[in-house]
Structure 1
Amino acid sequence: MKAKINTLLGFCFSVWLLTFLMVSPVMAKSLPSENNDPYQSFKGQVINAATEDPIQSAHINVKGTTISTISNSDGEFSLKLPKDMTDALISISALGYQTKELQLDYFKRADVIIAMQESVQELDEVSVYTKGDATGLVRKMMYNRDANYVSDEALMTAFYRETIKKGNRNISLSEAVTELHKQPYLSSKDDDISILKARKSTDYKRLDTVALKLRGGPFNALYIDVMKYPQFLFDVDKLEVYSFTYNKPTKIGARSLHVVDFKQNERDRPWYFGKLFIDSESFTLVKAVYSLNTDNRRVASRMFTSKKPNGVKVHPDNIQYQVDYREKDGKWFYSYGKADLEFVVNWKHKIFNSRYKVHSEMAITEWEKSNIIIAENKDFIKPAIVMVDDIDGFADVNFWGSSNIIEPDKSIQNAIEKIQKKIMD
């Protein structure tokens, strides 16, 4: 189990610290220009009806289709649909809230606000979750992968975003529309990713001559799919290395969910802990939120740091992951992945250290089952790739064309605006 965990962390989430950054960039294929845009755009915000707080990671889905998007940390979202789709029904769902369904006409007004009511768990439902063995429930969840998850190859469109902050300042922004060739959940084949369109900007002056290179790009968020890659967290044959206990149940819409807390038993190395949200009827993993304890700094540093200059110490300080799944036609599929990594960099002759935060997320915006025939010249990226610098993309408001994307957070939007201002100046 330890070897498997080290493989994932060393392969996907390594940070290279270099005095000079020299990389082979991802080359993005340009999408066709759309002078006569056949798409219509809608924007809005999802909030808690009682507190008016924004709801992050709410899924906005066009009923009867695979078109979807997700709300950002400010609860804001944008959705693009074909103009000939005039009577669509939009479903909005979030963990702990009642699902809402609204006609498309509702989104044609200005300042669209969607207020979500919190779900209420009845006492007789709570008793269901306190019976039985939580480990047995997780084992059943793993054994039911074939029945619960997509068993065909799928061709998915996904939006990926990666940001790096030094302190509270954004120093690097990367975004991409990707094509994801998703393999069946029980297949031993790994998923493939190609870049359709991408842009990036980095302010290297704020790196104090030290550049962080996050290896993996979109793979950072993809490998969080624990049902496709269970060996990286807990395999069905190695559940004994974890302790599982029931927590208070919750809901997504009318769907009741078991909530199971888990912790790794061995604590001599960095260890995982978190929550699993499991459907009470089908025993499907609907959501997982988990972290890596890095109190053992010496070992954690070796796991994450591939290369660094002399006189520099770097250690991970806060590592968090999230994966969401959605259901269509009785089958579940990977819908959203997020990784937040925080690193502390200490220079030998400097009094103060530097703190870097790396955030990456990927949301599936459309997909279809497909018997995929891969062209011989198909440009798939490698997990060790780095996104290309393309500062011009951030100045073009029509850069993404018809692609559904995640709205940028306010802090990211401010950074983008500064970049645009520099270009104009």
Structure 2
Amino acid sequence: MRNPTSFFARPIVILFLFFVLSPGAVTAFQQPSQEYTEYKGQVVNSQNNDALAGAYLSVQNTNISTVTNSDGEFSLKIPQNLKDVNVQVSFLGFQSRTIPLQFFQQDKVVIPLQESLEELNEVSIFTYTDPAALVHNMLETRGNNYFTDRTTMTAFYREAIKRGRKNVSLSEAVVKIHKQPYDSNSDDDIALVKARKTADYTRLDTVALKLRGGPYNPLSIDLMKNPTHIFNQRDLANFKFSFDNPTKIDEQYLYVVNFEELDKRMPWYYGKLFIDANTFSLVKASFNLNVDNRSAATDLFVQKKPGGTKVYPVEVKYDITYRQKDGRWYFGYGNTQLEFVVNWKRKLFNSRYKVNSELAVTNWEVNTEKVKRDDSFLSRRVIMNDDISGFADLSFWGENNIIEPDESIESAIDKIRDKLENN
């Protein structure tokens, strides 16, 4: 049985609700620039032209990569000294494509992917009949399947807060993740490279809702680095596991395992694990935290709130994706989505806020020496919209690969830029 005290000690996303707004503090650091070419386009389903959000694009024989936004759109910046290269495009449940760089030089690049229609239930590679035993093997072999070197990862982070359908706060940053080996208990660190932010607090009912932890939140759901955040080999009996229909990604066959926590007295986890059928590595996880127990969920997520209000989460979702290089897997993309309700004591209608934070690794290199901490390192208590400064023009990111803004975020950025110009 799970110990409630240990549950509430887990380092999961925490939100603040404040009356007082704080000024920016942290300085953004600049990277040396080099010549690059930016390629843009969209990845879609070949059957119906629907956008594929979260599709992965990687430049072969390099560690350069990016992901598509919610509209399936991407921006990929490649150094000009890389000319005769190919770009691999992949998405879960679809056939991957390898495309020469010349293809991206045309206008209005659209990349259609075909769904994998193979009857995977008949594939003989799926040998496990006990899903709990498979998950146990996944956890037991993580030291063999994931990076055992220190790595320094360049990543793009975006944090957006909406009230209803309107963006009220937006923070973006390029960061360096100093990733510790997967067989180590040492914590990962994050350093700021450059960042920008903005907020329209006139839409926040005089209450500023803020997210503590910034890019540490999507990084913390790296289940292979931090398995005890949800489960480990010793407490798998606290979960119910079952097989779902298998799938494919990048020509790799994947088990799909549903999991659900049995003890439902406190907020409890449920979701899907996508496990490689050859190496038993976790490739992707999508899961939720059930927050029907409003009192316990509020204690877990809300640290401060104004008097005369009730604040509680109504939806908590997480996604984590791993990438492979030379037979080893590493953190590639993390996303946390939370929806909160604020009920005012003397107001007829409540307010709903959505908080989305995502972190995508766009490049990395092995780091043989331990990195020394300096002023660019972020605290795990950082509140990005307080502790970074500035908002800038379209060329702000330079050579850094970022997640292309979706339509709603792009509209918010344009409005803010217009307001700054008019002032």
Gaps in structure 1 of 5+ consecutive residues = none
Q: 1:165 to 1:124 in 2, by over 3 A?
A: closer
1:318 maps to what in 2? Answer: 315
Residue 391 of structure 2 corresponds to which residue in structure 1?
Answer: 393
2:138 is paired with a residue whose SS is: helix
2:193/2:376 contact within 8 Å kept: no
The one of 6, 9, 16 aligned to 1:7: 9
For 2:225, which of 223, 228, 233 is the aligned residue?
228
Q: Distance in 2 between matches of 1:290 and 1:171?
A: 26
| Runs (5+) with no aligned partner, structure 2 | none
Contact kept? 1:26, 1:386, Cα under 8 Å = no
Contact 2:120 2:247 in 1 (8 A): no
Candidates 349, 362, 375, aligned match of 1:365: 362
- For 1:299 and 1:387, the matched residues in 2 are separated by 26
Correspondence for 1:349 among 346, 350, 354: 346
The answer to whether the 8 A contact 1:216-1:382 is kept is yes
Aligned residues: 419
Corresponding letter in the other structure for 1:50 = Q
Aligned to 1:44: 41
The amino acid that maps onto 1:412 is I
**Letter of the aligned partner of 2:7 in structure 1?**
I
Give the whole-Å Cα distance in 2 for the aligned partners of 1:123 and 1:341: 34
* Amino acid of the structure 1 residue aligned with 2:183: L
Counterpart of 1:282 (choices 279, 282, 286) is 279
Residue pairs, 1:51-200, within 5 angstroms: 51-122=48-119, 125=122, 129=126, 131-200=128-197
C-alpha root-mean-square deviation of aligned residues, in Å?
Answer: 1.6
Structure 1 residues 6 and 127: CA distance shift in structure 2, 3 A: farther
Q: Distance in 2 between matches of 1:383 and 1:23?
A: 18
User: Over residues 183-216 of structure 1, what are the superposed CA-to-partner deviations in whole Å (9 max), with x where a residue is unaligned?
Assistant: 0012110000000000000111111110011000
Is the 1:248–1:259 Cα contact (8 Å) retained in structure 2? yes
- Whether the 8 Å CA contact 2:89–2:97 is kept in 1: the answer is yes
Relative distance call for 1:341 and 1:25 in structure 2 (3 A) is farther
Which residue is 1:375 aligned to?
Answer: 372
Please state how far the C-alpha of 1:388 moved relative to its aligned partner: 4.6
Report Cα offsets for 1:208-264 as digits up to 9, x if no partner. Answer: 110011000110110010110111011111111100000001100311100000000
Structure 2: distance between partners of 1:123 and 1:349: 56
User: Distance between the aligned counterparts of 2:266 and 2:373, measured in 1?
Assistant: 43
Match of 1:16 in 2: 16
- Compared CA separation, residues 102 and 231, structure 1 to 2 (3 A): same
**Deviation digits for residues 88-139 of structure 1, max 9, x if unmatched?**
1100011001110000000000000000010123255357648511000000
The Cα offsets for residues 324-361 of structure 1, whole Å up to 9 and x where unpaired, read as: 00100000000000000000001111111100000000
Percent identical pairs in the alignment equals 47
| C-alpha contact (below 8 Å) 1:24/1:385 kept by paired residues | no
Q: Indicate if the aligned counterparts of 1:5 and 1:233 stay in contact, CA closer than 8 A.
A: no
The two structures have a TM-score, normalised by structure 1, of 0.95
CA deviation after TM superposition for structure 1 residue 24, in Å: 6.7
Alpha-carbon contact 1:160-1:176 (below 8 Å) kept: yes
> Are 1:384 and 2:386 an aligned pair?
no
Aligned partners of 1:299, 1:365: CA distance in 2, in Å? 37
Q: Distance in 2 between matches of 1:276 and 1:53?
A: 25
Which residue of structure 1 aligns with residue 255 of structure 2?
A: 258
SS across alignment from 2:417: helix
- Give the corresponding residue for 1:410: 407
Counterpart CA distance in 2 for 1:4 and 1:217 is 23
Deviation of the 1:31 alpha carbon = 3.2
